[in-house]
């Protein structure tokens, strides 16, 4: 008896209870699993419909054509012919695939050219629109005032070459800033260091915990960073013209903010609100609002600067912020309306602003310049009240300590510490191309980002500021661009000129031990 499918004597014969036909078990089971019917009659057939047959051991006879040398040669010839036919079919398929790939690449190249042309036309249209806006005829002041209330930039141009109108910082706002200053100053006197603040021993054991590729590979580089401590969320601004909102505990990207046409030079959270600020080399500042589920939409695009905007800093009230630009001005904005209340420049000398930060109490503004000068401003009068010389390169970053006395500035020649009470430099850290300097929120530690990342313990003017830990720049670029301390300095976030955000901290088991030690100490 032979198998109905193969025509050979079956090794495990089974018979169909419906048709009575004999099959090889493995062949009929595969056919039933593929088609669910009898291969001969076409009737529905299942595994339950086949019955095994018990037989003695079956010895298959060798085929006659393999019993002689001529038969074997014929078999080899047939297999060679089949191999050649299969190879020819594969070559035909390869040729077809190459043709399809060539056509797809041509379509992709054509699409890229069309996109480039459309972008060029868009940029030309924007330029023409900007020229038209600059040549709008003069209109009555009342109309301008009315328009300013709904204008994202907060001003209306008055004709060719005229400056935008700024209403100024009102007496009510100054009173609000003064009250905030008094409240924060009083609170600082009673300030106590958090018991959960990471210890010096913990910082000494910091190592890289994770690395997250947040930005594009074709334009790598993180230019700026900020951390929302209450939610442990990190925002980064990249060379790829985007800002990324990243949830550190889950390791997930919450949102990618797109809209700028050039690199994002500065990014800031507005307190615990749902607002985020971004500044860009495209001369604009954008205010983003969380519309729900981490989806941020641009509420205002502010065009008050005529050159690259290097920094934004938020006032302690979370109602106002300042932007600093290479056009030699800094602007004071109302967050709710996006109106520029004051646009300030120094008439005594022309400087290009590269960094900016509010003093913790909010009545003092610090700015860094490309001329290696640090300027201190009285926000109420917008007057330059102090100037620090000493750096030999562009100021890249400034940071006020929470104690209200110290100011740290980073530049191409390193980092300098300034005593705001005596207006003098009391300590310097020599480090080529220091790109970022940052006090932690408690004022206990200082971080410096340059060719590596260095963490210092803060001290008094006369005491030594001890180096706690030197973290390597693992990006391979030799340039760490920004450093920020996480909540209670439990980790350090570092951005570099690759596209990765790196988190340094204690491994899980060591972190638990450190928390137990901190609890025992308290």
Reported as a single tens digit per residue, the pLDDT across 315-362 is 999 999 999 999 999 999 999 889 999 999 988 888 999 999 999 988
Whether pLDDT at 219 is above 90: no
Q: What is the mean pLDDT of residues 491-507?
A: 92
Q: What is the mean pLDDT of residues 274-290?
A: 93
Kindly list the distances between the CA atom of residue 168 and the CA atoms of 8, 171, 172, 345, 364, in Å, as whole numbers in the listed order: 99, 9, 11, 14, 17
Alpha-carbon span 58 to 36, nearest angstrom = 29
Return all residues near 413 (Cβ < 8 A) that are at least 6 apart: 391, 392, 393, 430, 432, 434
Whether pLDDT at 210 is above 90: yes
| CATH of region 191-505, choose from 2.60.40.420, 1.10.10.10, 3.40.50.300, 2.130.10.10 | 2.130.10.10
Whether pLDDT at 159 is above 90: no
**pTM of the complete model:** 0.67
Reported as a single tens digit per residue, the pLDDT across 410-447 is 998 899 999 999 999 999 998 778 899 999 999 999 99
Question: What are the residue ranges spanned by the domains of the chain?
Answer: 13-60, 191-505
Radius of gyration of the chain (CA): 36
Q: How far is CA 366 from the centre of its chain?
A: 26
CATH architecture of 13-60: 2-Layer Sandwich (3.30)
Fold match, 13-60 / 191-505: no
pLDDT score of 191 = 77
pLDDT score of 432 = 73
- The answer to whether 257 and 245 are in contact (CB under 8 A) is yes
Smallest Cα–Cα separation from 270: which of 327, 315, 205, 324?
Answer: 315
Whether pLDDT at 152 is above 90: no
pLDDT score of 475 = 83
Alpha-carbon span 366 to 398, nearest angstrom = 7
pLDDT score of 232 = 92
Alpha-carbon span 24 to 14, nearest angstrom = 6
pLDDT score of 250 = 92
- pLDDT higher at 67 or 393: 393
pLDDT band, residue 156 (cuts 50/70/90): very low
Tally of CB atoms within 10 A around 40: 13
pLDDT score of 512 = 53
Find the largest Cα–Cα distance for the chain: 112
For residue 210 the two structure tokens come to 């994770």
Return all residues near 28 (Cβ < 8 A) that are at least 6 apart: 5, 14, 16, 39, 50
Q: What is the mean pLDDT of residues 494-517?
A: 77
Q: What is the mean pLDDT of residues 473-486?
A: 88
pLDDT score of 144 = 36
Kindly list the distances between the CA atom of residue 333 and the CA atoms of 149, 167, 214, 341, 439, in Å, as whole numbers in the listed order: 13, 11, 30, 5, 25
Whether pLDDT at 94 is above 70: yes
Q: How far is CA 159 from the centre of its chain?
A: 40
Q: What order do you get walking across the sheet with 480-485 strand by strand?
A: 207-213, 500-505, 491-496, 480-485
pLDDT score of 350 = 85
pLDDT score of 510 = 56
pLDDT score of 154 = 41
pLDDT score of 430 = 83
480-436-492 Cα angle (round to 5) = 70
Average pLDDT, the chain: 86
Helix (H) / strand (E) containing 92: helix 69-134
pLDDT score of 141 = 44
């060798």: which residue's tokens?
62
pLDDT score of 63 = 64
Alpha-carbon span 76 to 65, nearest angstrom = 11
pLDDT score of 171 = 92
For residue 263 the two structure tokens come to 């690199």
pLDDT score of 343 = 93
Reported as a single tens digit per residue, the pLDDT across 291-317 is 777 678 898 999 999 999 999 999 999
Return all residues near 359 (Cβ < 8 A) that are at least 6 apart: 365, 366, 400, 404
pLDDT score of 58 = 62
Whether pLDDT at 515 is above 60: no
Whether pLDDT at 518 is above 60: no
Smallest Cα–Cα separation from 294: which of 252, 322, 328, 261?
Answer: 252
Whether pLDDT at 140 is above 60: no
pLDDT band, residue 137 (cuts 50/70/90): very low
Q: What are phi and psi of 483, to 5 degrees?
A: -140, 140
């Amino acid at each position: 008896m032979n198998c109905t499918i193969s025509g050979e004597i079956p090794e495990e014969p089974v018979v169909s209870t419906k048709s009575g036909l004999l099959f090889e078990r493995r062949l009929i089971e595969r056919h039933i699993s593929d088609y669910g019917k009898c291969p001969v009659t076409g009737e529905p057939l299942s595994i339950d419909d086949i019955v095994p047959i018990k037989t003695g051991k079956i010895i298959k006879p060798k085929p006659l054509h393999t019993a002689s040398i001529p038969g074997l040669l014929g078999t080899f010839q047939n297999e060679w012919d089949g191999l050649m036919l299969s190879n020819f079919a594969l070559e035909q398929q390869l040729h077809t695939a190459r043709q399809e790939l060539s056509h797809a690449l041509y379509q992709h190249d054509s699409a890229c050219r069309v996109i480039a042309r459309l972008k060029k036309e868009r940029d030309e249209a924007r330029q023409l629109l900007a020229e038209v806006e600059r040549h709008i005829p003069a209109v009555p002041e009342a109309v301008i005032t009315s328009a300013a209330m709904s204008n994202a930039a907060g001003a209306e141009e008055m004709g060719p070459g005229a400056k935008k109108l700024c209403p100024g910082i009102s007496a009510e706002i100054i009173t609000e800033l003064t009250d905030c200053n008094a409240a924060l100053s009083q609170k600082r006197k009673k300030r106590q260091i958090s018991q959960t603040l990471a210890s010096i021993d913990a910082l000494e054991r910091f190592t890289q915990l994770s690395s997250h590729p947040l930005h594009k590979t074709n334009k790598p580089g993180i230019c700026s960073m900020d951390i929302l401590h209450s939610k442990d969320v990190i925002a980064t601004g990249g060379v790829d013209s985007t800002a990324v909102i990243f949830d550190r505990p889950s390791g997930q990207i919450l949102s990618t903010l797109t809209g700028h046409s050039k690199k994002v030079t500065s990014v800031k959270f507005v307190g615990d609100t749902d607002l985020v600020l971004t500044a860009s080399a495209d001369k604009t500042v954008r205010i983003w609002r969380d519309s729900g589920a981490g989806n941020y939409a641009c509420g205002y695009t502010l065009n008050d600067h005529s050159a690259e905007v290097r920094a934004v800093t938020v006032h302690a009230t979370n109602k106002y912020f300042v932007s600093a630009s290479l056009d030699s001005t800094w602007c004071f904005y109302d967050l709710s309306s996006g109106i520029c209340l004051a646009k300030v420049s120094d008439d005594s000398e022309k400087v290009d602003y590269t960094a900016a930060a509010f003093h913790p109490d909010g009545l003092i503004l610090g700015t860094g310049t490309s001329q290696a000068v640090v300027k201190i401003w009285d926000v109420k009068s917008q007057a330059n009240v102090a100037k620090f010389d000493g750096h030999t390169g562009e100021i890249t970053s400034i940071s006020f300590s929470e104690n209200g006395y110290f100011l740290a500035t980073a530049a191409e020649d390193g980092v300098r510490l300034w005593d705001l009470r005596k207006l003098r430099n009391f300590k310097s850290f020599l480090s080529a191309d220091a790109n970022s300097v940052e006090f932690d929120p408690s004022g206990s530690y200082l971080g410096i980002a340059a060719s590596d990342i260095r963490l210092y313990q803060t001290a008094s003017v006369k005491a030594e500021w001890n180096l706690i830990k030197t973290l390597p720049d693992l990006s391979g670029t030799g340039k760490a661009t920004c450093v920020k301390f996480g909540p209670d300095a439990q980790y350090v976030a570092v951005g570099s000129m690759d596209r990765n955000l790196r988190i340094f901290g204690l491994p899980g088991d060591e972190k638990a031990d450190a928390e137990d030690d901190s609890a025992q100490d308290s």
